[in-house]
Amino acid sequence: MNIKCLSVLAACIAVSLLLLLTACDKATNTDTGNTIGNRGNATKEEPSAVDEEAAVSANPFEKYDPPVKVRVARSVDQTWTYPEGDSIDNNIWYREYESLLGIQVVHDWTALLGEYNRRLNVAIASGDLPDVFSVSSSQLKQLADGGQLEDLTDAYEKYASDHTKKLQKGDGGAALASATFNGKLLAIPVVNAPIYESNLLWVRTDWLDKLGLPEPETLDDVLEIAKAFTERDPDGNQKQDTYGLGVGNYLYGPIVSTTGFFNAYHAYPQIWLKAATGEIVYGSVQPEMKDALAKLREMYRDGQLDRDFGVKDSNKVAEDIAANRIGMAFGANWNPYVFIDAVKKNPDMEWKPYPVPSVDGTPTRASASFSASGYIVVRKGFAHPEAVVKMLNLHEEVVHGSRRDEGEFITVEENGERINTSRLSLVQSGVSNEGVLESLELLRRAIENEDESLLGDTLTESDKYGPTVNYLKTGSIDSWAVAHQYFGFVTTMDHYTGDRLLMTAFGGQTPTMIDKWATLDKMERETFTKIIMGAASIDEFDVFVSDWHKLGGETILHEINDWLSAQQ
């Protein structure tokens, strides 16, 4: 997902100018709106008093004078490379923090990812915390319960730019809510876009054409296609060696998944659902799962699933696709990158994405993970909590806003090597569902009109324009994967937005989950695989549900509901 950007709004310029007039009578830089002007020149004293309106919204890039030091801890990767003369301690982002914002970043410590979490847990236990650091959801909860975090509510409301606020709330506010405890914002969430995970139904349309089958509109159509692809020799080799549906031994996920199939039965494995009572329940133990498992069991019995799927990972299933053995698969919009080797080996092969039809005609909802992948926090007592908000503003402006053309903050090319510099940004966030959808709509309009200028302020995916237009004109195999991902985008846009995308209601990790989840997850996959393969009765699902609750699931549900109650 390439990072292109949305021009920042300027709604706070008037308020920011008012702040300048009331702050003090010293001469200051005049660039005080929600966009960055001359880099490194915005200097202004902290006002001793401001009027009520100015206190609501301050200059998002107000520079500290004198500079402030921010002690940080961060994870690093030993494979990272840096432009000549740069390092983790001295790089383009850290220099910009000091030049533009008056923030001097000083590392308390750095560590590889695995060591980072161990060392951070020790720091949390001892109370010896850096000023700013990244945490997981469980670490956030621990710190919040211990009263070790600075309240960012006022700092965020006052200093977050309009652009930053728009991007942070692009998931409907779920990520920010997950960082809020007892009405206090205690972290900056790292927002992402779960809409990319929506399982689509990918079908070999060349086999449909060969067998004279209609495109799937109902679940019965899908089941008839699976039967025909298994029994009617669609590859024409006079052997009974094809399967209607590709499935991997992991069962779920974005590739050769059963997730889309379960969604067709209004079942949502592996995510947390809000019941009608308002309580959280686990999707994999709901009764709708049993009906879907029963149908998969029938399909396996009838040879429509590979007899050995239980020992084949997604790479092995991809080999079967390339060997012309599989005609349908559930997976994400980017599955064409999995299919491309098969297409190159089989020039007549053609895949097309479809929305997943449901068992009863009610529109299917696509299940997805949570929209926050991590959090940035500030230790309790740090004098300048707004510093993290200003650094986030800078990230959103440079990566997703008016400074997006300054490529040295994203990638630098030296001696034929592309060096990723965006990861050095200390406080960053991704593109939310809303931002992705807005970008994809611009991409669709540009492609349909063959007018690149219509891409406008796309935040992401603008690089799909050229290859897709090329494929539509020439059918070039070199553009096949990109163009077909775009086709997947279109299916997603048309069918899995709004309440058609079912994001998990909880993205954290409770204490019992840390201790018990690996066992519960293994039990789930093993039980479901045995049921599908006929090694266990369909009624074994009921035994699994009971065992899941007894072996830790019930405790986990209590912990989740208590956790979410604290975030009201």
Same domain, 109 and 27: yes
Same domain, 234 and 348: yes
Same domain, 339 and 403: no
> What is residue 56's predicted lDDT score, i.e. its pLDDT?
57
Residue 474 forms part of a structural domain:
no
**Residue where a domain stops, chosen among 359, 389, 424:** 424
> What is residue 11's predicted lDDT score, i.e. its pLDDT?
36
d(CA 70, CA 64): 12
Cβ(406)–Cβ(398) below 8 Å: yes
d(CA 45, CA 24): 8
Q: Which domain holds residue 114?
A: 13-193+372-424
CATH number at residue 332: 3.40.190.10
Same domain, 420 and 543: no
Same domain, 377 and 286: no
Same domain, 67 and 45: yes
**Residue where a domain stops, chosen among 392, 424, 456:** 424
Distances (CA, A) of 436 to 41, 177, 331, 507: 33, 20, 19, 20
Segment (H or E) for 107: strand 103-112
Q: Report residue 562 CA to chain centroid gap.
A: 25
Same domain, 420 and 549: no
Residue 469 forms part of a structural domain:
no
**In terms of Cα–Cα distance, which of 331, 393, 476, 373 is closest to 167?**
393
Same domain, 231 and 280: yes
Give per-10-residue mean pLDDT for the chain (568 aa). Answer: 36 34 35 41 37 61 97 96 96 98 98 94 97 97 97 98 95 95 96 96 98 98 98 96 97 96 98 96 98 98 97 96 97 97 96 98 96 97 98 95 85 92 95 94 98 92 96 97 98 96 96 96 98 98 98 98 88
Same domain, 135 and 217: no
d(CA 275, CA 468): 42
Q: Cα-flanking dihedrals φ and ψ of residue 4, to 5°? A: -115, 170
Say whether 59 sits in a helix, a strand or coil. coil
| Structural domain count, the chain | 2
Residue 279 forms part of a structural domain:
yes
Same domain, 348 and 250: yes
d(CA 464, CA 442): 11
Pairing of strands 132-135, 372-378: antiparallel
Residue 488 forms part of a structural domain:
no
Same domain, 357 and 210: yes
Same domain, 258 and 351: yes
> What is residue 416's predicted lDDT score, i.e. its pLDDT?
87
Which residue intervals of 249-308 are DSSP H helices? 259-264, 288-301
Residue 159 forms part of a structural domain:
yes
Distances (CA, A) of 126 to 123, 146, 325: 5, 12, 57
Burial track 405-437 (b if 16+ CB lie within 10 A, e otherwise): eeeebbebeeeeeebebbebbbbbbbbbbbbbb
> What is residue 54's predicted lDDT score, i.e. its pLDDT?
41
Residue 557 forms part of a structural domain:
yes
**Residue where a domain stops, chosen among 382, 402, 424:** 424
> What is residue 211's predicted lDDT score, i.e. its pLDDT?
98
Residue 522 forms part of a structural domain:
yes
Residues contacting residue 293 through CB under 8 Å, at least 6 positions apart:
528, 531, 532, 538, 541
d(CA 317, CA 348): 20
Residue 1 forms part of a structural domain:
no
